[in-house]
């Protein structure tokens, strides 16, 4: 199995790999497994599929894949949720189906909660909490949440990581990485979507989510970005009761933003809440470059005074300065309906393939913008515009940055909440001052002067190093040490198949030679006898027969007669 998947796997990962492949076949993805050259699992998978295949055979491939991910457990559910935001690399039907994946699972027993507290905090529950609810408030695949009270009387919520989840996820990551390596080798035409990089991105994301202390630091960082802003509240992190496996936060007693009747009864201003929420999110994106990646209504509570509190910081998006500049230019191009500017930005970003047809892309962008031309921007959801635009761009195999995909999904959620609170909510109007300010800062004299100085410094360093670099190149040429590496794309599969054919042909020749040699020995009466025949001839026939059977089985298992 280690050689099969191309990476080193431990015993647990090997067992998990067999289970994953079996489940995928049982949900009707036998051809995919065969293409990955894992045909030895197909026979076993066929039996599973025939047992439960009648139920799933009528479903679409996207539905069957969603069911397979749910059957494979937490890691694969999380992977599906990540892929649901990546309509630039998977078909829209799959992205929509993966968005239905649920992360709700039964809670683990209170005895395990006690054990986890003891291991993480170094003592019994009663040493840290005066009251601790045995039943969880919520349970998910990574952790579950309990309500508790500190000895000081402060109410808190305690998030506790599931026992064994780290080992389970790490085994699944090993399997996913092995399958990703196989996919890159077996499907070189899809290499631009970089399966290994995608799994690496997912691994980093889920490892961050499993480290609960990191979520605590994230909350404190976002709170520091909004220090002094009375319109927002962030739950306090109890650092002495927080570890990688336990997170203790202030209990927030507020009203869910989706409970409109409760907001009305409390006398809160829904229009003001919508504006404040949008402004806070846009500040996170365009000013801080550090934004909440999952601002759905269940994570937003409203406190007295129309104060907004965001919960659950397990999913965070990051945009560096250059990405924010790209985003501002991109948003300006979308809102001004300028396909030429969008195209130039995409070409400049560098996330394109050599086969890009820029004329076709420009034509599709113009058609897309024309479709929205008759509709006032104030009536068009900005999040939907971005999502559909990304789909148009993805059709030309342009690889969008993952955080931009997360941003588009988060923007849809924020805009949806705004319109739920206020039917007249206009995201374009809320966005315009932020975009204009970011654009003005981008082209301010001070900023341009700093950029010019930085580029001049880089250019001077290049000129300074150029003589030495040229000297090194000439020296290598003189010493015949100059090398050019060429990459033969798509030839690896041909070489492997040629090796297999050569090995089978060699084995056939060896078998034939053994049979001929044994037949010659059979004509003599020399040497020891076995059952009345020359022993060496008998051994030769036996060995040739076993080799022949092994060769026939290998040919049948490969599926190529």
pLDDT of residue 333: 76
Q: How far apart are CA 354 and CA 488, in angstroms?
A: 16
Residues 224 and 276 in one domain: no
Mean pLDDT, residues 478-484: 68
Dump pLDDT digits (tens) for 232-291.
Answer: 999 999 999 999 999 999 999 999 999 999 999 999 999 999 999 999 999 999 889 899
In a domain, 40, yes or no: no
Q: How far apart are CA 215 and CA 315, in angstroms?
A: 9
In a domain, 508, yes or no: yes
pLDDT of residue 314: 81
Give the percent of the chain with pLDDT over 90: 25
Looking up tokens 């981008």 gives 442
Residues 332 and 421 in one domain: yes
Dump pLDDT digits (tens) for 539-553.
Answer: 777 877 888 787 777
E strands, 228-352, are 232-233, 246-250, 255-256, 290-292, 300-303, 307-310, 316-318
Residues 510 and 373 in one domain: no
In a domain, 462, yes or no: yes
Name the band, by pLDDT with cuts 50, 70 and 90, for residue 211.
very high
Domain end, chosen from 434, 458, 484, is at 484
**pLDDT at position 149 over 50:** yes
pLDDT of residue 551: 74
Number of other residues whose CB lies within 10 A of the CB of residue 206:
23
Stretch among 31-35, 123-127, 312-316 having the lowest mean pLDDT: 31-35
Mean pLDDT, residues 531-546: 75
**pLDDT at position 538 over 50:** yes
Per-residue exposure over 272-301, b if at least 16 CB sit within 10 Å of its own CB, e if not: ebbbbbbbbbbbbbbebbebbbbbbeebbb
Q: Residue 115: left if φ>0, alpha if ψ -120 to 50, beta else—which one?
A: alpha
Mean pLDDT, residues 447-476: 74
- The active-site residue out of 279, 294, 312, 403 is 294
Residues 434 and 455 in one domain: no
Greater confidence (323 vs 524) lies with 323
What domain count does the chain have? 4
**pLDDT at position 443 over 80:** no
Joined together, the tokens standing for residue 454 give 């930085």
pLDDT of residue 3: 45
- Residue 166's domain spans which residues? 104-251
Using an 8 Å Cβ cutoff, are 378 and 57 in contact?
Answer: no
pLDDT of residue 40: 54
Number of helices (H) and strands (E) in the chain: give both, helices first.
23, 13
From the list 187, 192, 246, 259, the residue with the least C-alpha distance to 216 is: 246
Residues 285 and 374 in one domain: yes
Name the band, by pLDDT with cuts 50, 70 and 90, for residue 373.
low
Residues 334 and 371 in one domain: yes
pLDDT of residue 262: 94
Mean pLDDT, residues 509-513: 81
E strands, 129-205, are 131-132, 138-139, 143-149, 155-161
Q: How far apart are CA 304 and CA 307, in angstroms?
A: 6
Greater confidence (490 vs 495) lies with 495
pLDDT of residue 158: 96
Stretch among 25-29, 49-53, 73-77, 210-214 having the lowest mean pLDDT: 49-53
Residues 515 and 552 in one domain: yes
Residues 426 and 320 in one domain: yes
Stretch among 162-166, 347-351, 538-542 having the lowest mean pLDDT: 347-351
Residues 421 and 459 in one domain: no
In a domain, 542, yes or no: yes
Greater confidence (512 vs 521) lies with 512
Domain end, chosen from 413, 443, 473, is at 443
Name the band, by pLDDT with cuts 50, 70 and 90, for residue 27.
confident
In a domain, 461, yes or no: yes
Query: How do strand 232-233 and strand 307-310 relate by DSSP bridges?
Result: parallel
Residues 275 and 139 in one domain: no
Domain end, chosen from 198, 230, 251, is at 251
Name the band, by pLDDT with cuts 50, 70 and 90, for residue 124.
very high
Residues 240 and 313 in one domain: no
Name the band, by pLDDT with cuts 50, 70 and 90, for residue 11.
low
Using an 8 Å Cβ cutoff, are 93 and 60 in contact?
Answer: yes
Residue 338 is among the residues annotated as catalytic for this protein: no
Name the band, by pLDDT with cuts 50, 70 and 90, for residue 14.
confident
To the question of pTM greater than 0.75 for the whole model, the response is: no
pLDDT of residue 48: 47
Per-residue exposure over 330-363, b if at least 16 CB sit within 10 Å of its own CB, e if not: bbbbbbebebebbbebbeebebbeeeeeeeebbe
Residues 554 and 510 in one domain: yes
Output the average pLDDT for the chain. 80
**pLDDT at position 295 over 50:** yes
Greater confidence (347 vs 418) lies with 418
**pLDDT at position 45 over 50:** no
Name the band, by pLDDT with cuts 50, 70 and 90, for residue 429.
confident
pLDDT of residue 4: 47
Greater confidence (8 vs 239) lies with 239
**pLDDT at position 357 over 70:** yes
Q: Angle of helix 61-72 relative to helix 42-56, nearest 10 degrees?
A: 110
Dump pLDDT digits (tens) for 48-97.
Answer: 444 445 456 678 888 889 888 988 888 898 888 888 877 767 787 888 88
Q: How far apart are CA 147 and CA 98, in angstroms?
A: 31
Greater confidence (139 vs 102) lies with 139
Stretch (H or E) spanning 1: none
């Amino acid at each position: 199995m280690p050689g099969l998947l191309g990476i080193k796997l431990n015993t647990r990962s090997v067992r998990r790999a067999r289970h994953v492949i079996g489940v995928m076949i049982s949900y009707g993805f036998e051809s995919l497994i065969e293409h990955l050259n894992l045909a030895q699992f197909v026979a076993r998978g066929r039996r599973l599929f025939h047992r439960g295949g009648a139920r799933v055979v009528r479903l679409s491939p996207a539905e069957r894949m969603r069911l397979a991910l749910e059957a494979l457990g937490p890691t694969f559910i999380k992977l599906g949720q990540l892929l649901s935001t990546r309509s630039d690399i998977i078909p829209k039907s799959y992205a929509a189906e993966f968005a239905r994946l649920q992360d709700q699972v039964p809670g683990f027993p209170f005895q395990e909660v006690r054990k986890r507290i003891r291991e993480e905090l170094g003592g019994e529950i009663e040493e840290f909490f005066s009251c601790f609810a045995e039943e969880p408030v919520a349970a998910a695949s990574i952790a579950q949440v309990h309500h508790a009270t500190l000895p000081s009387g402060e109410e808190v919520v305690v998030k506790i990581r599931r026992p064994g989840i780290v080992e389970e996820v790490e085994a699944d990551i090993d399997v996913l990485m092995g399958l990703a390596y196989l996919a890159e080798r077996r499907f070189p035409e899809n290499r631009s979507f970089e399966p290994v990089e995608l799994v690496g991105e997912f691994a980093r994301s889920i490892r961050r989510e499993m480290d609960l202390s990191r979520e605590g630091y994230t909350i404190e960082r976002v709170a520091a970005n909004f220090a002094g802003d009375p319109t927002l509240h962030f739950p306090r992190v109890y650092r002495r009761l927080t570890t990688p496996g336990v997170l203790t936060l202030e209990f927030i007693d507020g009203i869910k933003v989706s409970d409109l009747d409760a907001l009305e009864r409390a006398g809160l201003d829904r229009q003001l809440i919508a504006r404040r929420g949008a402004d806070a999110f846009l500040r996170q994106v365009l000013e801080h470059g550090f934004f909440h990646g999952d601002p759905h209504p269940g994570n937003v509570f409203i406190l007295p005074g129309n104060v907004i509190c965001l919960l659950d910081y397990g999913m965070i998006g990051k945009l560096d300065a250059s990405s924010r500049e790209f985003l501002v230019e991109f948003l300006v191009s979308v809102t001004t309906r300028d396909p030429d500017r969008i195209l130039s930005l995409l070409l400049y970003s560098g996330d394109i393939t050599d086969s890009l047809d820029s004329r076709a892309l420009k034509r599709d962008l113009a058609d897309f913008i024309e479709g929205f031309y008759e509709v006032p921007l104030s009536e068009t959801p900005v999040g939907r515009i971005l999502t559909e635009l990304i789909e148009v761009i993805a059709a030309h195999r342009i690889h969008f940055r993952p955080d931009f995909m997360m941003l588009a999904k988060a923007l849809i959620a924020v805009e949806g909440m705004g319109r739920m609170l206020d039917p007249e909510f206009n995201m374009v109007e809320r966005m315009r001052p932020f975009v204009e300010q970011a654009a003005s800062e981008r082209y301010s004299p001070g900023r341009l002067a700093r950029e010019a100085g930085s580029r001049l410094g880089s250019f001077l360093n290049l000129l300074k190093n150029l003589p030495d670099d040229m000297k090194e190149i000439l020296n290598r040429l003189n010493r015949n040490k100059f090398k050019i590496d060429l990459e033969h794309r798509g030839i690896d599969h041909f070489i492997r198949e040629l090796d297999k054919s050569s090995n089978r042909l060699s084995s056939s020749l060896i078998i034939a030679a053994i049979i001929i040699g044994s037949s010659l020995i059979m004509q003599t009466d020399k040497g020891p006898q076995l059952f009345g025949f020359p022993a060496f001839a008998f051994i030769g026939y036996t060995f040739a027969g076993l080799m022949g059977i092994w060769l026939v089985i290998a040919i049948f298992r490969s599926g190529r007669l």
